[in-house]
């Protein structure tokens, strides 16, 4: 270590700023653990904002689940190596509820319906099943379930979002959709959802938007808009717009990166340090080594501006290929920080099926880090590689979170389990 560089000591280093990393930091600080979090902008900024628990099982049959909890019980029986199988149902419930409570306390409440998934419309005019919705989208699930007469609004200059396309694609499922395009207040040319959302945090822009929509309302009993209804003041924005328009309103998620994911990212980045997490956001791990006493020494930052962190334990939540936790080349898939064993097809030619839409999905999607019941990465013989290194989230093997629609639930539940194991180790 350079004597001139900043040195940080902690009980736990959380690597990653996706949902798993954010959840792990939340659980750690609630457990009273002295924790540092490091990572570049994670996948959470590209999230839909919805919290999926389990939406499809079995994936090869494409069975959409109404009851995700019953689905998890079946998944664990059918796939005993799936990460959910290492966690009791009660612990999964507690972990998810903890995050929901945190979001509510932070001013961005999400709505779940007990044992049931909710169906919502996507920006391409399909239906998605999810467990918990941002409060801004709740009326959309209700309107879809009731097939309410709905005015579906889009904006001149907003690319990748067409109310007409959605209405036509959903026509057989939801015939009451009526599309309209209006001008966004005080804007011209190409629009960007983040700028629109920040503008709608202000009352005068909301008032102008109400004036633009009301003449088109007709007999509609609900209004749907793209997910731009405020960045930091979504509760106030929704309430003001509903009062002005006179009917319930809801957001439809936009193509990623979208505002709903940015809201989650900024919320966690602001709230976690206030709770006690020491952040090293927008920094990456340059190298990691284990010291003689078992602690971890990691260089974090850039080669010209690095910080030395010594941690008693580490939770790896670095994500898959997009998050750069895994890297693939002609020789195989490797883990990028600790060079951990990666469970993967033996032959690169079997990473993918010839059929792009193969019912079972592609084998590469289930590649990742295999762990034991304490979420410690293991070698080919099932032995923990290091006693004080844990892993959580999408980097884990034996799951296909995209096809199973379990991304947020997997991230939250495995993060909670990894933190529990870590706390036990640190005692």
Which candidate, 43, 40, 25, places its Cα nearest to that of 264?
Answer: 43
More confident residue, 43 or 401: 401
What pLDDT digit, counting tens, does each position of 17-46 carry?
A: 999 999 999 999 999 999 999 998 666 767
303 C-beta neighbours (distance < 10 Å), count:
7
Whole-prediction pTM: 0.94
pLDDT at residue 3, rounded to an integer: 55
pLDDT at residue 43, rounded to an integer: 66
Q: What is the mean pLDDT of the chain?
A: 93
Give residues with Cβ within 8 angstroms of 358, minimum separation 6: none
Instruction: Identify each DSSP E strand in 156-269 by its residue range.
Output: 177-182, 222-226, 249-252
What pLDDT digit, counting tens, does each position of 140-164 carry?
A: 999 999 999 999 999 999 999 999 9
End-to-end CA distance of the chain: 28
d(CA 272, CA 279): 8
Over residues 374-378, the mean pLDDT reads 98
Asked if residues 376 and 387 have their Cβ atoms less than 8 Å apart, the reply is yes
Which candidate, 359, 368, 410, places its Cα nearest to that of 52?
Answer: 410
pLDDT at residue 347, rounded to an integer: 83
Q: Strand 150-155 and strand 177-182: pairing?
A: parallel
Mapped onto helix, strand or coil, the DSSP state of residue 413 is helix
Asked if residues 404 and 59 have their Cβ atoms less than 8 Å apart, the reply is yes
Q: Is the pLDDT of residue 131 over 90?
A: yes
List the beta bridge partners of residue 12: 35, 313
């Amino acid at each position: 270590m350079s004597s001139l560089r900043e040195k940080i000591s902690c009980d736990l280093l959380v690597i990653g700023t996706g949902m798993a990393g954010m959840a792990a930091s939340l659980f750690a600080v609630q457990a009273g653990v002295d924790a540092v979090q490091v990572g570049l902008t994670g996948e959470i900024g590209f999230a839909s904002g919805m919290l999926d628990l389990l939406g499809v099982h079995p994936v090869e049959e494409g069975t959409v689940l109404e009851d995700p909890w019953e689905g998890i019980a079946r998944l664990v029986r059918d796939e005993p190596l799936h990460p959910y199988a290492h966690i009791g149902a009660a612990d999964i419930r507690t972990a998810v509820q903890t995050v929901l409570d945190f979001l509510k306390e932070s001013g961005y409440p999400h709505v779940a319906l007990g044992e049931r998934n909710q169906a919502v419309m996507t920006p391409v005019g399909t239906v998605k099943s999810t467990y918990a919705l941002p409060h801004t989208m709740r009326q959309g699930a209700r309107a879809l379930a009731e097939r309410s007469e709905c005015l579906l609004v889009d904006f001149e200059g907003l690319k990748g979002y067409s109310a007409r396309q959605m209405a036509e694609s959903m026509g057989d499922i939801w015939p009451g959709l009526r599309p309209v395009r209006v001008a966004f207040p005080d804007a011209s040319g190409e629009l960007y959802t983040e700028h629109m959302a920040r503008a709608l945090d202000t009352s005068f822009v909301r008032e102008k938007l109400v004036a633009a929509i009301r003449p088109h309302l007709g007999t509609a009993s609900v209004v749907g808009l793209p997910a731009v209804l405020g960045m930091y003041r979504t509760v106030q924005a929704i309430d003001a717009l509903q009062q002005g328009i006179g009917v319930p309103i809801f957001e439809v998620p936009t193509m990623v990166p979208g505002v709903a994911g940015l809201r989650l990212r900024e919320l966690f980045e602001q709230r976690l340090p206030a709770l006690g997490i020491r952040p090293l956001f927008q920094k990456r791990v340059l190298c990691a080594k284990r010291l003689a006493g078992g602690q971890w020494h990691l260089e974090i930052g850039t080669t010209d501006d690095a910080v030395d962190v010594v941690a008693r334990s580490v939770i790896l939540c670095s994500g898959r290929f997009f998050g750069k936790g895994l890297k693939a080349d002609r020789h195989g898939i490797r883990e990028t920080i600790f060079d951990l064993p990666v469970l993967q097809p033996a032959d690169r030619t079997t990473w993918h099926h010839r059929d792009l839409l193969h019912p079972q999905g592609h084998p590469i999607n289930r590649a990742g880090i295999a762990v034991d019941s304490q979420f410690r990465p293991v070698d080919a013989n099932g032995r923990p590689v290091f006693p004080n290194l844990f892993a959580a989230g999408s980097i884990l093997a034996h799951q296909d979170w995209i096809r199973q629609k379990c991304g947020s639930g997997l991230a939250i539940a495995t993060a909670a389990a990894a933190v529990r194991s870590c706390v036990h180790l640190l005692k």
